[in-house]
Copies of this chain bind each other. A is one copy, B any other.
Amino acid sequence: MTKIPYKIYLTEDEMPKKWLNLRAFMKNKPEPIINPGTKQPCTLDELSHIFCTELAKQELNVTDKYIEIPEEIQSFYKMYRPSPLVRAYNLEKALGTPAEIYYKFEGTNTSGSHKLNSAAAQVYYAKEQGITKLTTETGAGQWGTALSMACAFYGVDLSVYMVKVSSQQKPYRKAVIETYGAKVIPSPSDTTEVGRKILAENPETGGSLGCAISEATEVAMKTENCRYVLGSVLNHVLMHQSVIGLESKTALDKYGIKPDIIIGCAGGGSNLGGLIAPFMAEKIEEKNDIKFIAVEPASCPSLTRGKYAYDFGDTGKQTPLMKMYTLGSGFMPSPNHAGGLRYHGMSTVISKLYDEGYIDAVSVEQTKVFDAAVMFAKTEGTLPAPESSHAIRAAVDEALKCKKTGEKKTILFGLTGTGYFDMSAYQSYLNGTMTDYIPTDEELQKGFDTLPEM
C-alpha cells in the first residue's frame, strides 16, 4: 500500500476550476430568502442593491451544480492555495487511536484562515462591476483581514466594522487590517444610526456579529458606489468555500482514502459548508454514508439549542429574512467566550441539511476546546485558532471512541486557521482564568423573543 505522506499538496492543474453549488444537489432546497416588507422571496433586483449583481445571482442560484471560477480568481487562489491536506500521524500516536486522522489546513495564508477563499471572489466581482468601496463586519478578525488583503490586491476601499470585544482582545488583528490599507471601526460605533441606538440601550456591550452587520449594511446602503460583503452564512459564501472540500476530495481520492466522519466547526457555516460540499453532494446521491458533524460553542449553540425559524441576519433587523437555526437576532454571546463562532444564526444550507438529518451537531465548552488546542499544538506543531479547535475537540473525541471500540475509522476535519491573534485567550486558558458558559433556557428565551412574527 502506498505510504500516505504527512501533507498532500495538489498541483495547480489539480486545483478546482469550478465551485460546487450544494443547493443544486439538495432534494429539498433551503427555504427562500424573504423580503421582510413584502413577505415575498427576495428578487435579484432587491438583492443587487446590497450585494454586487454577480454575487446576488449566485445567492439565488439553486439549479447550477457547478459554477466556473473566473481565471482571475483562480490566479488569486494560486497565490496561497492549494492548502495542505495533512495526515495527523503525531496526534494519532499521542492518542493511541486506531483511527486515521486527516485535516485540511486553511491557515497558511496571512489572513490565517479559510476566509480568503470568499474574499478573493467577492472583491473580484465588485471590482468588475465598478464598485469602489466595500463595507463589512468582522468578529474574530479573520474575515476582516482576508477582505483587506483582497481589497489591497484589487485596489478597492474597505471599511471594517469589528466586534468591539474582538478589537480589544486583538489589537494586532486591527493593525494587520490597517497594514493592508483598510479602515477599522469598533462596533457598535457612533458612525451609524443602528450603532448609536444599540449604544444608547446598552453602552457597555462588547458588540456582536449581528450588530456589526447592521452597521456595515447601513453604511453600504447610504454610500454611493458601495456594497456590503459578508464572510459567512450566505449561500454564495458557502459556494466559494467549496474549494476546501473539492481540494480535500481530490487529495483523498488520489490515495484512495474514504472518510467515515467529516467534522467542521460551525459559526455561520461557511467553513463547514465548504468542507463538506462534494462529500455531501455524494451522500445526497446515496454514493456514500459519511457521518458529518458540526461543532459549535456551548455558549452560542444555534444548531443544538436554537429554533428553525425565519430570522433576520443582523441585530438591527435590516437584512432579509432567512430560515435558519437561530438563537434570535437579539442574542448576545457572553463576553467570556473567546474567538469567533459567535453568530446567532446558521447558513440556510447547513440548517436545512441539519433539519433533514444529513448533519449531526455537537456543542463543546471552551476549556475543553483549549485542552484539545494545546494538545494539538504540542503534537502536530501548528497553533490552532480557537474556532478551529472546536473541530479538533470533536475529532479527538471521535478518535478516542475508536480507541475504545478498536474501530479504524477515517476522520477528516477542517483546521480553519491559526491562533496567532488569539494569544490573550490562550493566556487566560494557561493561567486558569478561562471559564465556561452555558446559557440557561431563560437566557436563550430572551433571544427567541426577538424572532420576527411570520
Q: Does residue A64 face the partner (Cβ distance < 8 Å to B)?
A: no
Task: Say yes or no for A383: interface residue by CB 8 A criterion.
Answer: yes
State the interface size on chain A (CB cutoff 8 A): 41
- In the complex, chain A residues 132-170 whose Cβ is within 8 Å of any chain B Cβ: 149, 152-153
Q: Is A192 an interface residue (CB 8 A)?
A: no
A193-248: which residues lie under 8 A (CB-CB) from chain B?
none
Q: Which residues of B contact A172 (CB under 8 A)?
A: 172, 420-421, 423-424
Closest to A370 in B: B179
Given A110-B381, A153-B378, A378-B181: A7 and B175 interface contact (C-beta under 8 Å):
no
Q: Please, which residues of chain B bring their CB within 8 A of the CB of A180?
A: 377-378
Interchain CB contact (< 8 A) of A427 among B109, B149, B175, B380: B175
A45 CA to B450 CA in the complex, in Å? Answer: 75
Is there a chain B Cβ closer than 8 Å to A5's Cβ? yes
Task: Give the number of times this chain occurs in the complex, counting copies.
Answer: 2
A93 to B173, CA, bound (A): 28
- Docked CA distance A257–B117 (Å): 30
A79 at the B interface (CB under 8 A): yes
Asked if B6 and A377 sit within 8 Å, CB to CB, the answer is no
Instruction: Say whether, besides A5-B12, A6-B78, A109 and B175 are in contact (CB < 8 Å).
Output: no
Whether the Cβ atoms of A110 and B377 lie closer than 8 Å is: yes
Q: How far is the CA of A12 from the CA of B79 in the complex (A)?
A: 22
Q: How far is the CB of A191 from chain B (nearest CB, A)?
A: 21
Contact assessment for B381 and A149 in the assembled complex, using a CB-CB cutoff below 8 Å = yes
Which residues from B are CB-within-8-Å of A90?
79, 153
Q: Is A374 an interface residue (CB 8 A)?
A: yes
- Does A302 sit at the interface, judged by CB under 8 A? no
A134 to chain B, nearest CB (A): 16
8 additional A-B residue pairs with CB within 8 Å, beyond A5-B78, A6-B78, A79-B381 = A79-B90, A79-B380, A152-B377, A172-B421, A172-B423, A175-B430, A179-B377, A181-B378
Give me the 3 closest cross-chain CB pairs, A-B, nearest first: A172-B423, A175-B423, A152-B378
Interface residues of A (CB under 8 A from B): 5-7, 9, 11-12, 78-80, 90, 108-110, 112, 149, 152-153, 171-172, 175-176, 178-181, 374, 377-383, 418, 420-421, 423-424, 426-427, 430
